[in-house]
């Protein structure tokens, strides 16, 4: 939350998770004034290194949030999946779903034809506890679904191809 410029920008690129707030969070080596002086090109703070730029183009931001409240809520939610330290087990949360829950939609969500796209998020939400999934990098490398959820109350990580985008084919992003 807030700007980060100069040499300090290198650190977020190697951290586990970066949260940015649209309109107030910026990361760049040099700002728009220097870019204009050197190249003559006029760019805004947001275009050069805002939340949407780093969430969708560079991939440095794992989460792009509309405001600080949403940012803090998602940061807390992410931490709810992780243990307090390397000795503690991951936190268990009792699911609200009944143990014998059935999801008949799973029979039809994935098309019979491998050439028809579908949204893997729909599949994941019907499998995980309470339909809750915290997507990581949702705006970058959209051909991959990556995130956290719970299954039987236990935290799990999910990584999978997203057939809705590029048919789920892995590319350079």
| Interval 46-57: pLDDT, tens | 999 999 999 999
The tens digit of pLDDT for each residue in 125-136 reads 999 999 999 999
Q: Is the pLDDT of residue 173 over 80?
A: no
What are the two backbone dihedrals, phi and then psi, of residue 117, each rounded to the nearest 5 degrees? -75, 155
Tell me if 160 is assigned to some domain. Answer: yes
pLDDT digits (tens, 9 = 90+) for 80-121: 999 999 999 999 999 999 989 999 999 999 999 989 999 999
Query: By C-alpha distance, which of 62, 69, 68, 20 is closest to 45?
Result: 20
79 domain-assigned: no
Are 160 and 125 found together in one domain? yes
**Residue 173 contacts by C-beta under 8 Å, 6 or more apart in sequence?**
59, 140, 141, 143
Three-state SS for 119?
Answer: coil
Q: Which domain holds residue 9?
A: 3-74
pTM over 0.85: yes
Residues 48 and 111 in one domain: no
CA dist., res. 91 & res. 97, Å (int): 18
80: in domain: no
Domain stops at, among 23, 40, 74? 74
Task: Tell me the pLDDT band of 1, cut-offs 50, 70 and 90.
Answer: confident
User: By three-state DSSP, how is residue 160 classified?
Assistant: strand
Residue-averaged pLDDT of the chain: 94
Q: Are 31 and 44 spatial neighbours (Cβ–Cβ below 8 Å)?
A: no
Please give the tally of structural domains in the chain.
Answer: 2
């Amino acid at each position: 939350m807030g700007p980060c410029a100069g040499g300090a920008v290198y650190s977020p690129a190697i951290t586990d998770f970066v949260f940015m707030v649209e309109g107030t969070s910026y990361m760049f080596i040099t700002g728009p004034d220097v870019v204009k002086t050197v190249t003559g090109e006029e760019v805004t703070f947001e275009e050069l290194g805002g939340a949407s730029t780093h969430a969708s183009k560079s991939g440095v931001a794992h989460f792009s949030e509309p405001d600080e409240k949403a940012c803090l809520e998602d940061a807390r939610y992410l931490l709810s999946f992780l243990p307090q330290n390397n000795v503690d087990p991951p936190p268990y949360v009792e699911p609200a779903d009944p143990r014998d829950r059935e999801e008949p939609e799973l029979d039809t969500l994935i098309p019979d034809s491998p050439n028809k796209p579908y949204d893997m998020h729909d599949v994941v939400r019907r499998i995980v506890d309470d339909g809750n999934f915290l997507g990581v990098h949702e705006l970058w490398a959209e051909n991959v679904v990556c995130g956290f959820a719970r299954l039987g109350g236990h935290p799990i990580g999910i990584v999978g191809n997203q057939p809705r985008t590029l048919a789920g084919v892995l590319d350079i992003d």
